[in-house]
Structure 1
Amino acid sequence: MCTKLKYLALVMMSLSPGMATADTIIDNVLGYTLIGTQLQQFQALAFDDAGKIIATGKSAELAARLPMAKRVDGGGKTLLPGMIDAHGHVLSLGASQMQLGLRATANLAEAQKTIADYARRFPLNQWIIGGEWNQANWKLGRFPTAQEIDAVVKDRPVWLSRVDGHAGWANSKALQLAGITENTPDPSGGKIEKDAHGKPTGILIDAAMSLVSKVVPPASNAEQRTALDLALLELAKVGVTSVHDAGVSESADKLFREYADKGKLTTRIYGMLRGTDGYFDKVSLQGPLLTYGQDFYSLRAVKLFADGALGSRGAALMAPYSDAPHTHGLLFKTTDEMHTMIEKAASKGYQVNVHAIGDAGNHQMLDGFARLPATSANLRHRIEHAQVVALDDIPRFKQLGILPSMQPTHATSDMNMAEDRVGAERIKGAYAWRSFLQQGSRIACGSDFPIESPNPFWGVHAAVTRQDMAGKPAQGWYVNQAMTVQEALRCFTLDAAYAAHQENTLGTLEAGKWADFILIDQDMLNMPAKDIYKIKVLQTWVAGKQVYSATR
């Protein structure tokens, strides 16, 4: 047989059933994936030119089945499905890397020094923008004040958001530009903190933050692109191959579509439109965007807000705060108003995902979802955070088909103040992952970055140990609510995919799904749980293409 005929015969064999050519086989790996509820191991993963998985299995078997495939040695490392962050803020992650950060400051004096240093480094910035401050870490016993920024920067406006994003700290210049005085009333769903003489202190909570943010110059197109580039790089570095973006604006939607068109997205984005008015009214005329750009982008959900955050006492509680009996926190809307928004989004086919932290906020949202037609459950509506839930309300998530979308690192970040806020009884329904899992709820895990780190292994560590990275508390904080390692892997992969209607294309390494996977330096399923946060990502692959390597 001539050479050309031999070659043609080989090509025809490769196209025969069971002999389809795979571009690549990653072998010599310790591979794990969930198939249903079962954890399976494999030695090799094969995928085709289009970036779809052909099979997993033993190296020799895949090599025999796919003799023309390119072979990549996995070096004996652990291979997992790409991690999915079910709640993050993509552009905010990138922007946070360009702004002033106070997360690492140990006290107010250190924060003031950091602000002053930043102001000196960037003398041309009209505004000093940033945040991530946490007065609980500073042991102040109170919020900081405008005068405490004025002491180091008074000639330029300064606007710094709290670590949870639900309170802002302004200096006097920023308050002046926003027109905030002792006569400015609290907006609906917000609070202007005032001193004993009725003067604004510089702290604005929840909806009141917009009084300042609306006078901050918007990011330019170039700044938004830089922020997206920085965010995608960071997400690839920590092994996040898909993220649910909790609050997509018009400009962000256009930017994500542009990047998808140009093949520049290296992390898949499942978008939640911000609110049910404005841009929603325009874009919803075409209905939900189920998939776009080879499944790299979709816009089929809406993000709403029931209340604020626990740290700033903006989360809505049924009874007063245990450490501040004068306040219950804030419900942003009446139940009727919230139901109108939910029904509007759901009637147009959108999944409704509502931020609810306090037990009153969660209760209001459950009541709102209960008023929807039974068929609406197919949209897989979610409560984002589900952080403090009345014990009687936990079963209602399962009864109503509402998915709890939760962030494990919030528990270990909040444990220094959470019980002070809600007391010994209400804490039983707080960060209650085990209670949800035992009733059969599927938890979608995320980080809420940049409020927390986007590193999913920090999330797995928190979910499994209920400890900080110093191993405290020694026995774990309410460790009866901890997950197993396999449960934590599931909530960052398959169940996060389910919460985005993507379980048939993402979340596990099965034939026909996208080849989104990571190589890591340790065997997460068989290592001391206390060390899981130390895991390093060696490679990240999305749709069969390597988008990150630790060696580059």
Structure 2
Amino acid sequence: MVRSFLIFACVFSLFVACRSTPKVDLLVYGGQINSFGLEYLQAECLVIDQGKVIAIGNTDSLRAVYTANKEIDLQGKHLYPAWHDAHAHFAAFGKGLDELDLKGKASWEACIEAIAAYVTEHPDRVWVKGRGWDQNLWGGKYPDRRILDSLYPDKHFYLSRVDGHAALVSGNVLEKLAFTTETKVEGGAMIVDPSNAKRLTGVLIDGAADLAKSEIPEPTFKELREALLAAQEKCIASGIAAITEAGLDLRVIQLIDSMQREGLLHMKFITMLNPGPKEFDYAKQGIYETPKLKVASFKLYADGALGSRGALLKEPYCDHEGNGLAIHNPAYFDSVCQLIYKLGFQANTHCIGDSANRLILETYARYLKGKNDRRWRIEHAQVLDLGDISFFSKYNIVPSVQPTHATSDMFWAEDRLCSERMPGAYAYKSLLSEAGCLPLGTDCPVEDINPMYTLVSAVFRVNASMMPPKGFQNEEALSHFEALKGMTWWPAWAGFKENQFGSLFPGMDADFVIYDEDLQKAGPEKLLKATPISTWIDGIERWKRDS
């Protein structure tokens, strides 16, 4: 219900107690101020001091109480809590900005042209790293390393598929790993040349791709710092002030912490640890939290991706042999979840296929034992047996989804799943109805970081090209309000940060974004063109659109 604060000033008690005539840093007025939390709040004035929201309500009433060092007239514009991407790979996004971009290439030949241009531009790079190819854009045939080996015998290639769950590598990388057609990799697969049963094409899936990736030299701290700053610049320009980072090694988390303390990284991070020995030793010291960083969860992987047929399904794929890939066996998840539970951390598990979802939901249930406030998460919850959705409400499990996955996969998803499984696929409205919350993210760099693409995909079920004209499985569309809450408050709540950011109630961090458009009423065409006027973090303007 909308609460219009016409003669209301909600005052942070500390400031009332300490100041007889409170003087504050900033007063924003003259527009529509929106906040999403346990209740929806709409007001016309926002008072900010020392990086916090002090009061929100009616302009005249608040001006009678506060004197501001600076006032901003919104001139009828619309202000929202700054966006929070509930599932993104921020560090990978930053690193990828300096790597080969193959996203959207309509043929393997177009990829080869892009590779040639990149190698010419970066002749000294021994490793050519890139991302974004998608065989579904050119008829479904996987690429082959043959031309890479022929043209660039001295280069080592690691070209990740758009979903990050498969990669094309060059022959010299296969030699480094001693991979042959006889090699078996737990939780992974290798594509064999259909015309030569003894030759690998170079396409590796999940666990096999991970082994190849481990051969790439680690970036230096200087390179990582530059990548993180580049990613931040893109995010803040999009109105994003917070990221739930979906899996990092400890060294990168510690670098983020250091850069925040230096005043270089302004954004807030809820960060999932990768499940390595160093990370578990670190977690034994307890949850780590600063005003800008929280480390209280682990990222696990139950299966691969639907696009590369690594998603683990209960029944075989409709367009290919097999059921997909189990990254680990059930005993692994049982032991790891037991440890995570004892540590008091969150378990956040990547689950795409209905079999993977069922496995992890059952594993969670053994430890959560009914209603709880652990906020364990299923990341993606992409394809579910409708009979399994009740787990989310019964055990207070949080579904964390990425609406643009639906509008990217919609052209071929039914080929993989057949019509019988589609009702449980990308079923965001059903998940929200069952779980009562739905944090929304992008999975960037798998999808574009632009929050407006998330909003349009969630509400109108169309992609950035406005396809399909009538929408995709519209019965699972969210309302504007639900989607905006999923981009602000629910991501904070899902990481136990709802009392610090995600809304604009008094006492919250003053993180907000200003738009020309009313995002709660605009159609898809306007939303796709919408860009922030400015982005504020802790009451400081960190980005402003060129006039």
Aligned counterpart, 2:10: none
Is the partner of 2:543 in helix, strand or coil? strand
Sequence identity of aligned pairs in percent? 32
- Alignment-derived partner of residue 251 in structure 1: 251
Kept in 2, the 8 Å contact 1:52–1:512? The answer is yes
The question of 1:128 aligning with 2:124 is answered no
Matching residue's letter, 2:283: S
Give the superposition deviation at 1:37. Answer: 4.0
User: 1:449 deviation in Å?
Assistant: 0.6
Aligned to 2:287: 288
- Aligned match of 1:309: 305
Instruction: Give, in angstroms, the shift of residue 152 of structure 1.
Output: 4.2
Q: 1:263 to 1:110 in 2, by over 3 A?
A: same
Cα distance in 2 between the residues matched to 1:154 and 1:75: 60
Instruction: Note if contact 2:304-2:312 (Cα within 8 Å) is conserved in structure 1.
Output: yes
Q: Which amino acid aligns with 2:443?
A: D
AA in 2 matched with 1:52: K
Q: Secondary structure at the match of 1:29?
A: strand
Q: Does structure 1 conserve the Cα–Cα contact (< 8 Å) formed by 2:398 and 2:435?
A: no
Residue aligning to 1:21: 23
Range with greater deviation from structure 2 (511-520 or 165-174): 165-174
Give the letter for the 1:143 counterpart: Y
Greater CA drift, 466-475 or 423-432: 466-475
> 1:68–1:118: structure 2 CA closer, same or farther, 3 Å change rule?
closer
Q: CA deviation at 1:530?
A: 3.9
Aligned to 2:317: 321
Deviates more, 1:298-307 or 1:247-256: 247-256
Residues 265 and 296 in structure 1, CA contact (< 8 A), matched pair in contact too = no
Question: What is residue 156 of structure 2 aligned with on the other side?
Answer: 157
Structure 1 residue matching 2:508: 3-state secondary structure:
coil
Structure 1 residues 391, 373: CA separation in 2 closer, same or farther (over 3 Å shift)?
Answer: closer
Check conservation: 2:105, 2:111, Cα contact below 8 A.
yes
2:480 maps to 485
Q: Which residue of 2 aligns with 1:32?
A: 34
In the comparison of the two structures, how many residue pairs are matched? 531
Contact kept? 1:357, 1:388, Cα under 8 Å: yes
State whether residues 444 and 499 of structure 1, in contact with CA within 8 Å, keep that contact through their aligned partners in structure 2.
Answer: yes
For each residue in 1:224-276, what CA deviation from the matched residue of structure 2 results, as whole angstroms up to 9, or x when unmatched? 0010000111110111111100112121111011012112222101010001x
C-alpha distance in structure 2 between counterparts of 1:323 and 1:354, whole Å: 26
Whole-angstrom CA distance in 1 between matches of 2:68 and 2:232: 33
Cα distance between partner residues in 1 of 2:85 and 2:284: 28
8 A Cα contact 1:463 1:482, kept in partner: yes
- Which residue of the partner structure matches residue 174 of structure 2? 175
User: TM-score, length-normalised on structure 1?
Assistant: 0.93
Task: Give the aligned residue type for 1:109.
Answer: E
Displacement after TM superposition at 1:194 (Å)? 1.3
How far the C-alpha of 1:313 sits from its partner, in A, is 0.2
CA distance in 2 between partners of 1:339 and 1:531 (Å): 47
Q: Distance in 1 between matches of 2:368 and 2:315?
A: 30
Contact 2:22-2:67 within 8 A present in 1 as well: no
AA of the residue aligned to 1:252: V
Given the alignment of the two structures, is residue 496 of structure 1 paired with residue 498 of structure 2, yes or no?
no
- Is 1:535 aligned to 2:520, yes or no? no
Structure 2 CA distance, aligned partners of 1:171 and 1:119? 14
Query: In 1, are the aligned partners of 2:52 and 2:510 still within 8 Å (CA)?
Result: yes
Is residue 2:37 matched to residue 1:41? no
Q: Which residue of 2 aligns with 1:3?
A: none
Shift of 1:296: 0.6
Contact 1:170 1:202 in 2 (8 A): yes
Aligned counterparts of 1:525 and 1:103: Cα–Cα separation in 2: 30
Query: Within 5 Å, which residues of 2 pair with 1:42-441?
Result: 42-49=43-50, 51-139=51-139, 141-183=140-182, 185-196=183-194, 197-275=197-275, 277-289=276-288, 291-292=289-290, 295-324=291-320, 326-374=321-369, 377-441=372-436
The CA RMSD measured in Å over matched residues stands at 1.7
Give the deviation of 1:54 after TM superposition.
Answer: 0.9
Q: What's the offset of the Cα at 1:497?
A: 1.0
Query: Post-superposition shift, 1:406?
Result: 0.2
- Bigger drift between 208-217 and 151-160 goes to 151-160
Measure the CA separation in 1 of the matches of 2:213 and 2:491: 32
Q: In the alignment, which residue of structure 2 is the partner of 1:544?
A: 539
Distance 1:535 1:356 in 2: 32
How many angstroms apart in 1 are the aligned matches of 2:368 and 2:38? 29
Amino acid in structure 2 at the alignment position of 1:287? G
The 1:273/1:314 distance shift into structure 2, 3 A limit, reads: same
Please show how residues 431-510 of structure 1 align to structure 2 within 5 Å: 431-510=426-505
Task: Name structure 2 gaps, 5 residues minimum.
Answer: 1-14
Question: 1:55 corresponds to which letter in structure 2?
Answer: A
Distance in 2 (CA, whole Å) between partners of 1:156 and 1:543 is: 45
Partner of 1:10: none
Deviation string, structure 1 residues 345-396 (Cα, Å, up to 9, x no partner): 1210101100000000000001100110438932210000000011000111
Aligned equivalents of 1:88 and 1:35: distance in 2?
A: 22
| 2:340 partner SS | helix
Q: Secondary structure at the match of 1:445?
A: coil
Unaligned runs of 5+ in 1: 1-12
Tell me what 1:5 maps to: none
SS of alignment partner, residue 24 of structure 2: coil
Q: Distance in 1 between matches of 2:336 and 2:359?
A: 13
Change (3 A) 1:152 1:352: same
Q: TM-score, normalised by structure 2?
A: 0.94
| Residues 32-88 of structure 1: CA deviation (Å, up to 9, x unaligned) | 1124243x3222211112x11011122222222212442122232210001111101
Quote the Cα distance in structure 2 between the aligned partners of 1:283 and 1:84: 26
Secondary structure of 1:31 counterpart: strand
